[in-house]
Amino acid sequence: MNGQRNPFNIKATVVFCLLLAGLVLSGIAVELYAQEWAPSWQLPRRDRPANMVDEPITGLGEIPESRFFSPLICSACHTDIFKQWKGSTHAYAWADPLFQALYKKGRDEAKDDEQNAVMDSCVRCHTPVGFTSGKWECGQAPIPSEASRQSIFCDFCHSIKATAGIGNAPFILDPGDADKMDFGTKRGPFDDCPETNHKTEYSELHTRSEFCGTCHDVSHAGSRLAVEQTYTEWRLGPYNTGNPETTVHCQDCHMRQRPGVPATGSTERPDNPGFAATKIVGGLERPHIWTHYFVGGTSLVLGPSAPDPERQKMAEERLKNAATVEILTASTVKPGEILRARILVENVGAGHYIPTGLTEVRQAWLEVTVIDADGKKVYHSGYLDGEGHLDEDAVVYHTVFGDKDGKPTLDVWEADHIISDHRIPTKGQMVEKYAFLVPGDTKLPLQLKAVLHYRSAPQWLAVALLGDKAPTIPIVDMAEASATLDVQK
């Protein structure tokens, strides 16, 4: 019997292994794994920080929210860091009315299990402790759960012990227990903290882009479409040199910024000497403290009761040091003939594409205006109507998602493929071509002006989601250039 069964078993094993290999190769096994909250992808072992591990991630409802400390407790000793974080979008990632409106729409419209799973995924990034405690509520203020109210807060980020990879928030948490006044171990960049108040531990992860890449790389939980690729863009870009001495991490731009110091790729990114914790409680004077403003392109943070002018200025400083515009060539000007112009837009300051992240909503665009010697408009592209719609010819840097029927959609849970992606690559350039008729009665010379604008959302979208309560979304001029065009002699 044995003699007959053994060869069969070997064959079965071989067949089984081949099948398994086939499944893995065809991605089916990956898909099954993904449904149990896994990273979107994993780095090759040689590129991983020490605390990027192949271990199960912290799942839904695994850790009660009562184990986490409120940011107010941390603020007692980390006063400056608290003030910086308090104004950031991280502090409002859940309460943010734009997020809430879109999330509610998705919850109301979700058609099946797959779309509901996508809506669960929003929770994991926008209120990570709400997710891991299983306590989050949709919408209306005041938000009952403390963790959801605080969104992405101190004790969440600094209780991250490790990550299982990149994207879709595969963090592994190890908090203390606030109920028992036990801080646990707070992970960060230092390996020499006086541990008078709580335990600390050096975490390589926290010092590298991979930390931010846990969330700033988003794949659709159903279709697996990469919907946000900030970390991937950075990883494939020139700021990731592969050499630890010269690599410019997310933190080097976003956690060195402070008022007056934009810290972009085109400006200096100086150290910020000072104290991480006040001196009285044992904080040491250090050559550099990482700031916690986390400024991106959003100048009006939605959520706080009043706008913060200092923060608006910092977002403007960041955007104004991100790109340049240059008028390359313009053909000979002749009234009655076609004028051709080429405009160069360069990404000189962002560690990723411009825009990045939520690129179906964020927009940068070129406004090109040509006026004649009498001040009469000869050509205009990239202008807004009363509701904030751009003209059809405008050059817009953004992404358009398509749903399963091929129709453009802003509902990220419906996203199935990318219809178009026109953005400025990291340290890359785009040349935009313009051609228009100069009317016969035009008085020369002409003035050509090109302005690169940015808005974190179109006004019409804010109105569609928030109705009368929609604030005015600011438009920031990132860069501009102008030229006088005359008959060539």
Q: In whole angstroms, how close is the CB of 156 to ligand HEC at the nearest point?
A: 6
Task: Tell me: does residue 147 bind ligand HEC (CB under 6 A).
Answer: no
**Cβ(172)–Cβ(161) below 8 Å:** yes
Binder among 39, 130, 165, 213 for ligand HEC (CB under 6 A): 213
Q: In whole angstroms, how close is the CB of 37 to ligand HEC at the nearest point?
A: 10
Question: Other CB atoms closer than 10 Å to residue 272's CB: what's the count?
Answer: 17
Binder among 34, 125, 394, 395 for ligand HEC (CB under 6 A): 125
How far does Cα 399 stand from its chain's mean position?
A: 14
Binder among 236, 284, 328, 435 for ligand HEC (CB under 6 A): 284
Task: Tell me: does residue 39 bind ligand HEC (CB under 6 A).
Answer: no
Please choose, out of 26-34, 201-209, 374-382, 468-476, the segment that lies near ligand HEC by the rule CB under 6 A.
201-209
**Cβ(323)–Cβ(365) below 8 Å:** no
Q: In whole angstroms, how close is the CB of 85 to ligand HEC at the nearest point?
A: 4
- Residues in 331-370 that interact with ligand HEC by CB under 6 A: 349-352, 354-358, 362
Question: Other CB atoms closer than 10 Å to residue 143's CB: what's the count?
Answer: 20
Measured in degrees and rounded to the nearest 5, phi and psi for residue 120 equal -65, -35
Q: In whole angstroms, how close is the CB of 371 to ligand HEC at the nearest point?
A: 29
Task: Tell me: does residue 231 bind ligand HEC (CB under 6 A).
Answer: yes
- CB-side exposure of 375: number of CA atoms within 13 Å? 0
Task: Tell me: does residue 190 bind ligand HEC (CB under 6 A).
Answer: yes
Question: Other CB atoms closer than 10 Å to residue 239's CB: what's the count?
Answer: 21
**Cβ(484)–Cβ(447) below 8 Å:** yes
Task: Tell me: does residue 409 bind ligand HEC (CB under 6 A).
Answer: no
Binder among 58, 148, 209, 381 for ligand HEC (CB under 6 A): 209
Q: Of 389, 457, 395, which Cα lies nearest the Cα of 422?
A: 395
Q: Kindly write out the interface string for residues 298-317 of this chain, putting x where it contacts ligand HEC by CB under 6 A and - elsewhere.
A: x---x---------------
- Residues in 435-464 that interact with ligand HEC by CB under 6 A: 456
Distance CA 91, CA 400 (A): 28
Distance CA 14, CA 3 (A): 18
**Cβ(219)–Cβ(226) below 8 Å:** yes
Distance CA 16, CA 14 (A): 5
Please choose, out of 142-150, 184-192, 378-386, 387-395, the segment that lies near ligand HEC by the rule CB under 6 A.
184-192
Binder among 57, 129, 152, 462 for ligand HEC (CB under 6 A): 152
Task: Tell me: does residue 161 bind ligand HEC (CB under 6 A).
Answer: no
